[in-house]
Amino acid sequence: MSKSISAALLGLGTVGYGVRRLLEENRGINIEIKKILVRQPEKHGDIDPGLLTTDLDGIISDPGIELVIEAMGAGAFGYAAIRRSLVSGKSVITADKEIVARHLPELSTLAEARDARFYFEAAAGGAVPVIRNLLAIRKYDRVESVAGIVNGTANYILTQMFRRDIDFASALAAAREAGFAEADPEDDVSGIDSARKIAILAALAYDVFVPSEHIYRYGIANITKEDIAFIKSIGRVVKLIAFARRRGETIEIGVEPTLVHGDGVFAGVEDEDNAIFIEGKASGNLGFSGKGAGRYPTAAAVLSDCLAYREGVKSFVFREDDGISFASPERGQYYLRVADPAAIPNFLISMRRGNHIITGEIDWRILARLADNVAFCGKIMNI
């Protein structure tokens, strides 16, 4: 048997616990957790006290630890721990999409400079193996678009509203009860989390770094039973979809509720599942789906990175393409629920039913000017 790899696990919360359990159950990966960084060791009485530590410095300075698995959650401490680990020459695995979306160019080039590796498969789609497959596709094909349902919480909420005819608040409560929503779900329902993930995928697909806070997004917090009933009546289903599409030398990128065909591929992606489609110029649409939320789906993606490290797989290094720029979506057909239908110019309207309106193909800037009158909107797409 090959030599065991000594690793440190930073954090023993939802993901960290899952990673530890899966490593114990998959000993063939042959990665041994030598130290576990926690804030309060006394809360983990079921774990050998010799494994637990509050001392990050001790982990960084330990020459016997070659791999650091970061599972603490977002924040300055997590970023600093990753950066210090890489500076010391240790390779790093993280599931933290906020850190990756904000610092990918810096951390990936730092890893290369220190002859280390930086992996983040779990940061874009839970258990869905999209990152490694996207990088493989890029080796032989030109990526035209990446689009998908990348937030399990939002998808669970929308699924419950459609399936059970309940309002947003009740669906959110169901998501919390099922363990798929945080106490503060703002990042999930506003599209912030999805924006971070599509920023990561766009960097991998197009060599363009787009700060997630600059990405156009529209969330689902304002959706009502009234919206759902209308959307059902026209044979559609609404999903929160993140996308990055090539338009010449520009990448159109955003996150928005999207009305998809009721019998389309996205309509069948339900509950906490994610689904991501990569369109290649030669290969066409390639789809990847699976669990997008939960302890063990995320931990499974981390384990795939452990295996990649074990097998010597090179990690991604960001190199910006100066010829590529990014932009918000420019045109589209939209569903609107408005406060005052009479205030919508007739030339914009393709269909009207009460305060529910379907527009023709319109410029996004026109839609922006109507924002004060729009209670909820979603793009209509033939997918």
Residues designated as active site: 197
Q: Read off the tokens for 290.
A: 């699976």
Q: Read off the tokens for 169.
A: 């608040």
State the residue for tokens 């006394």. 42
* Residues in CB range of 367: below 8 A, 6 or more apart: 334, 359, 374, 377
CB atoms within 10 A of CB 237: 22
Q: Cα 71–76–82 angle (5° rounding)?
A: 50
Strand partners, 352: 357
Residue 44, exposed/middle/buried by CB under 10 A (0-12, 13-18, 19+)?
A: middle
d(Cα 66, Cα 153) in Å, to the nearest integer? Answer: 34
What's the first-to-final CA gap in the chain, in angstroms?
A: 49
Q: Torsion-angle region of residue 25: left (phi > 0), alpha (psi -120 to 50) or beta?
A: alpha
d(Cα 327, Cα 330) in Å, to the nearest integer? Answer: 8
E-only strand ranges, 73-136: 91-94, 118-119
Residue 65, exposed/middle/buried by CB under 10 A (0-12, 13-18, 19+)?
A: buried
- How far is C-alpha 171 from the chain's CA centre? 21
Which SS3 state, helix, strand or coil, does residue 279 take? strand
Complete DSSP assignment for 199-235: HHHHHHHHS----GGGSEE--STT--HHHHHHHHHTT
d(Cα 266, Cα 383) in Å, to the nearest integer? Answer: 7
